[in-house]
Structures are given as C-alpha cells and as structure tokens.
Amino acid sequence: MEELLSNKLIIEDENGNKTTYEVLLLFKSFSNGKKYVVYTDNKKENNKLNVYVKTYTDDGIIEEIMDDSEWYEIERRIKELFEVYNNER
C-alpha cells in the first residue's frame, strides 16, 4: 500500500513496515498520458542521491515501471526538468 501526499510518499511493504520518502517531482508524460512521481530516501550511494520513479493514478494507485522505452522517456524528461530548474536558480 502506498500513500502519495504533497511532499512525501509513504510505501508499506509486505510485512506492514512503512517507509517515508521525499517527493522531488510530479509530472505527466505528453506521449503516454501517464503520471509519474520522482522520489528519494535521501540516502547516497557512491556519492549520488538515490532517486526512484513510479507511475501513479488519480485514484492513488502507484505502480512499478517495466517498459524500457518508458524508462528512456522518463530519464530524458527528468534531465530536462532538472536542467530548467538549475538554470532558473
């Protein structure tokens, strides 16, 4: 079970343990109409922040992304959005 709030995502595992993540970005794909949540646990591996992405619906259903072409589009879109953000700072 997952719960998407304005700035955090709470994911419950199969054992009932809840983990809270910080939401970095919400966006909708122009090509497939899906909505995505980009989030982090604020932990670093190899000096890089752990960042995760899942799809979500208006009903609160959050799902894994399985398609390689969808991942390619997501990575491209996230890079574009962060470039815009960094240029505006």
pLDDT tens series, the chain, 89 aa: 556 666 899 888 899 999 999 998 888 888 889 999 999 999 999 998 899 999 998 888 889 998 998 999 888 888 887 787 677 76
pLDDT score of 5: 64
Domain ranges, residue 82 = 2-88
pLDDT score of 37: 92
| Count of the separate structural domains present in the chain | 1
| 22 DSSP assignment | E
The CB-based long-range contact list for 11-17 (8 Å cut-off, 24+ gap) reads: 11/62
Q: What is the pTM of this model?
A: 0.80
Residue 28 pairs with which residues in a beta bridge?
Answer: 35
pLDDT score of 81: 77
Rounded Cα distance between 21 and 13, Å, is 13
Helices assigned H by DSSP within the chain: 68-88
